[in-house]
Amino acid sequence: MTLVEETTSGKYEKPDFSKYENKAATAPAYFSVHDLHAYYGESYIVQGVSFTVHEGEILALLGRNGAGKTSTLRAIARLESPQATHGEIWLDHQHLHSMSSHEAAKAGIQLVPEDRRIIPGLTVEENLQLAQIIEPVGWSLDRVYELFPRLGERRKQEGVTLSGGEQQMLAIARALVRDIKVLLLDEPYEGLAPVIVDEIEKTLNIIKQQGITTVIVEQNAIRALMLADRAVILDTGTVVFDGTAQEVLDNEALRAEYLAI
Ligand SMILES: Nc1ncnc2c1ncn2[C@@H]1O[C@H](COP(=O)(O)OP(=O)(O)O)[C@@H](O)[C@H]1O
Ligand SMILES: [Mg+2]
């Protein structure tokens, strides 16, 4: 795929987003976030974010460093910080906005955080078994090892001794063994060699084929756009673009303004 066309064509005009407003309220998609606001103490960070994702779709949530991507994912997963003060989050007709993080996880939201949080002192298999302690459970370990043969080979090895790529696979696998509907990935490619990124991208496509809906946050925006169906771009905690991944790949001015690529 040709990603960056060497065009200097035209000025980028700010799109009209009014057509997206209230979309979540009027036509709930499988997963929708509507007018979400969240604070760290007095700091107002997530400033009215809305987007929708259809079942089985991959959405790339992009934006420069500090744009509010991680904060948005954390607010969606109902973590305590940042504190969401306003907005609605709907997943398959369930309202996550009234749930605790624990309840949201049970309802099918799984956040794979940037630092992966592999539990020290536990083997690969024990990390996965621990995730299955709470009902409802999702994929079996056999199914996980089929998707990630390297995790199967290393099932008796301590999780934190794996390579970065393998730890990322384990972090994703840990989400899959829960009964998952939406996978939230925060910078899954960070610090990984391109061949490992290829491998993880392949597995994310397989996960998509299994019907799981994914939101991927990535600094490596081109790679995320190659994987994603749609893209939302954030800037200072607000949505500045909502469209197809291909539109972002084709729009050099948009990428330069909001993604610095
Ligand atoms: N725990 C926190 N307390 C206060 N401010 C924070 C905290 N975490 C992030 N921020 C601020 O929120 C803004 C958005 O951060 P973040 O969501 O991490 O952005 P991104 O993931 O897009 O890089 C930044 O200005 C950052 O400094
Ligand atoms: Mg972040």
Q: What is the mean pLDDT of residues 130-145?
A: 94
CB atoms within 10 A of CB 124: 30
Indicate the DSSP class of residue 16: -
Q: Domain residue spans in the chain?
A: 26-108+181-261, 116-179
Q: Residues within 5 Å of ion ligand 2 by Cβ? A: 69-70
Kindly identify the ligand whose nearest atom is closest to the C-alpha of 71: 1
Structurally, what CATH architecture does the domain formed by 26-108+181-261 represent?
3-Layer(aba) Sandwich (3.40)
> Does residue 22 surpass a pLDDT of 70?
no
- The predicted pLDDT at position 4 comes to 34
pTM exceeds 0.85 for this model? yes
Residues framing ligand 1 (Cβ under 6 A): 40, 43, 45, 63, 65-71, 81
Task: State yes or no: pLDDT of 95 exceeds 70.
Answer: yes
> In this prediction, what percent of the chain has a pLDDT beyond 90?
87
How many other β-carbons are positioned within 10 Å of the β-carbon of residue 1? 7
The residue with greater pLDDT, 260 or 53, is: 53
Residue 260's pLDDT is 86
> Average pLDDT for residues 15-27, to the nearest whole number?
46
Q: How confident is the model at residue 76 (pLDDT cuts 50, 70, 90)?
A: very high
Of the residues 36, 39, 40, 233, which should be mutated to test ligand 1's pocket, given the most ligand atoms within 8 Å of the CB? 40
Model pLDDT for residues 42-68, shown as the tens digit of each residue: 999 999 999 999 999 999 999 999 999
pLDDT at 3 over 70: no
CA 14 to chain centre: 25
Reply yes or no on whether the pLDDT at 25 is more than 60.
no
- Mean pLDDT of the region 148-177: 97
Is residue 6 packed enough to be buried (19+ CB in 10 Å), middle (13-18) or exposed (0-12)? exposed
